[in-house]
Structure 1
Amino acid sequence: MEVDDDGKPRRTGTLWTASAHIITAIIGSGVLSLTWAIAQLGWISGVCTLLVFSCITSYTSNLLADCYRSPITGKRNCSYMEAVRSHLGGTKYKACGCVQYIYPSGMTVGYTITASISMVAMRKSNCFHKRGHDGDPCKFSSNPYMIALGILEIFFSQIANFHELSWLSTVAAVMSFGYASIGIGLAFAKVVSGKGERTSLMGMEVGVGFNAADKVWTMLRAVGDMAFAFAYSTVLIEIQDTLKSSPPENQTMKKANTIGMSIATTLYLLCSCLGYAAFGDRAPGNFLTGFGFYERFWLVDLANVFIVVHLVGAYQVLAQPVFGVVEAWLYSLWPESNLITKEYPVNIGRRKLSFSLLRLVWRTLFVVMATVLAMALPFFNDILALLGAIGFWPMTVYFPVEMYIAQKKIKRGSRSWVGLQILNFVCLLVSVAVACGSLQGLNQALKSSKPLKFEE
Structure 2
Amino acid sequence: MVEDVASGNHHLQQQQPQAFDVSVEGYEHRDSKFFDEDGRHKRTGTVWTASAHIITAVIGAGVLSLSWAIAQLGWVAGPAAMILFSLVTYYTSTLLSVCYRTGDPVNGKRNHTYMDAVRSILGGFKVKICGCIQYANLFGVAVGYTVAASISMMAVQRSNCFHSSGGKDPCHMNSNVYMITFGVAEIILSQIPDFDQLWWLSIVAAVMSFTYSIIGLGLGVGKVVENKRVRGSLTGITVGTVSESRKIWRTFQALGDIAFAYSYSMILIEIEDTVKSPPKESTTMKKATFISVVVTTFFYMLCGCFGYAAFGDSSPGNLLTGFGFYNPFWLLDVANAAIVVHLVGAYQVYCQPLFSFIEKTATDRFPNSDFVNKEIKIPIPGYHPYKLNLFRLVWRTIFVIITTLLSMLLPFFNDIVGLLGAIGFWPITVYFPVEMYIVQKRIPKWSTRWVCLYMLSFACLIVSVTAAAGSVAGIIDDVKVYKPFRTNY
1:120/1:279 Cα in 2 relative to 1: closer, same or farther (>3 Å)?
Answer: same
Cα offsets for 1:267-316 (capped at 9, x unmatched): 10010001111111110000012455642000000000000000000000
1:66 equivalent in alignment to 2:98? yes
Q: Which runs of 4+ in 1 moved over 4 A?
A: 291-294
Give the match for residue 103 of structure 1: 137
Number of the residue aligned with 2:184: 151
Provide Cα deviations, 1:163-199, integer angstroms capped at 9, x if missing partner. Answer: 1100100000000000001111111111122366631
Per-residue deviation, residues 333-370 of structure 1 (Å, max 9, x unmatched)? 11111111111223444332321101110000110010
2:123 is matched with which residue: 77, 85, 89?
89
Distance 1:124 1:186 in 2: 18
Task: Give the % identical residues.
Answer: 56
In structure 2, give the amino acid aligned to 1:105: F
Q: Contact conserved, 1:389 with 1:431, CA < 8 A, in 2?
A: yes
**SS of the residue 2:236 aligns to:** coil
Match of 1:187 among 214, 217, 220: 220
Aligned runs of 1:3-18 on 2, under 5 Å? 3-18=35-50
Is 1:297 the counterpart of 2:329? The answer is yes
* 2:457 matches 1:424: yes
Distance 1:331 1:196 in 2: 61
Give the partner amino acid of 1:355: L
Provide the residue aligned with 2:197 in structure 1: 164
Q: How far apart are the structure 2 equivalents of 1:380 and 1:402?
A: 32
Secondary structure in 1 matching 2:227: coil
Picking from 169, 184, 190, the partner of 1:136 is 169
Q: How many angstroms does 1:245 deviate by?
A: 1.7
1:69 alignment partner AA: R
Q: 1:47 aligns with which of 79, 85, 90?
A: 79
Find the aligned partners of 1:454 and 1:367 in 2 and give their Cα distance. Answer: 22
Which of 390, 407, 410 pairs up with 1:377? 410
Does structure 1 conserve the Cα–Cα contact (< 8 Å) formed by 2:99 and 2:440? yes
Alignment of 1:295-444 (within 5 A): 295-352=327-384, 353-444=386-477
Partner of 1:38: 70
For 2:204 and 2:380, how far apart are their aligned partners in 1?
19
Contact 2:144 2:416 in 1 (8 A): yes
Question: For the Cα contact (< 8 Å) 1:24–1:176, is it kept in 2?
Answer: yes
- In the other structure, the counterpart of 2:88 is 56
Letter in 1 for 2:151: I
- Which range is displaced more, 444-453 or 291-300? 291-300
Between 336-345 and 55-64, report the one with greater CA deviation.
Answer: 336-345
Cα displacement (A) at 1:14: 1.1
Matched residue type, 1:149 = F
Pairwise CA RMSD: 1.3
Judge conservation of contact 1:87–1:407 (CA < 8 Å) in 2.
Answer: yes
Deviation track 1:222-256 (CA, whole Å, cap 9, x = no partner) reads: 00000000010000000000011211111000000
Sort the Cα spacing of 1:370 and 1:417 in 2 relative to 1 into closer, same or farther, 3 A.
same
Query: What is residue 111 of structure 2 aligned with on the other side?
Result: 77
Establish whether residue 119 from structure 1 lines up as the match of residue 184 from structure 2.
no
Partner of 2:232: 199
Letter in 2 for 1:170: I
CA displacement at 1:449 relative to structure 2: 0.9
Counterpart Cα distance in 2 of 1:278 and 1:326: 46
Q: C-alpha distance in 2, partners of 1:132/1:197?
A: 29
Distance 1:418 1:239, change over 3 A: same
TM-score (norm: length of structure 2): 0.91
Q: Secondary structure at the match of 1:165?
A: helix
* Structure 1 residue 5, shift from structure 2 partner: 1.2
Specify the code of the residue in structure 1 equivalent to 2:118. Answer: V
In 1, Cα distance between equivalents of 2:485 and 2:103 = 49
| 2:56 and 2:346 in contact (8 A); partners too | yes
Mapped contact 2:311–2:324 kept (Cα < 8 A): no
Tell whether the 8 Å contact from 2:141 to 2:420 is kept in structure 1 after alignment: yes
For residues 488 and 223 of structure 2, the distance between their equivalents in structure 1, rounded to whole angstroms, comes to 33
Paired residue secondary structure (1:287): coil
Q: CA deviation at 1:403?
A: 0.3
- Of stretches 297-306 and 339-348 in structure 1, the one that deviates more from structure 2 is 339-348
Match of 1:344, SS state, is: strand
Letter in 2 for 1:250: S
Rounded to whole Å, the distance in 1 between the matches of 2:278 and 2:382 is: 29
Find the counterpart in structure 2 of residue 281 from structure 1.
313
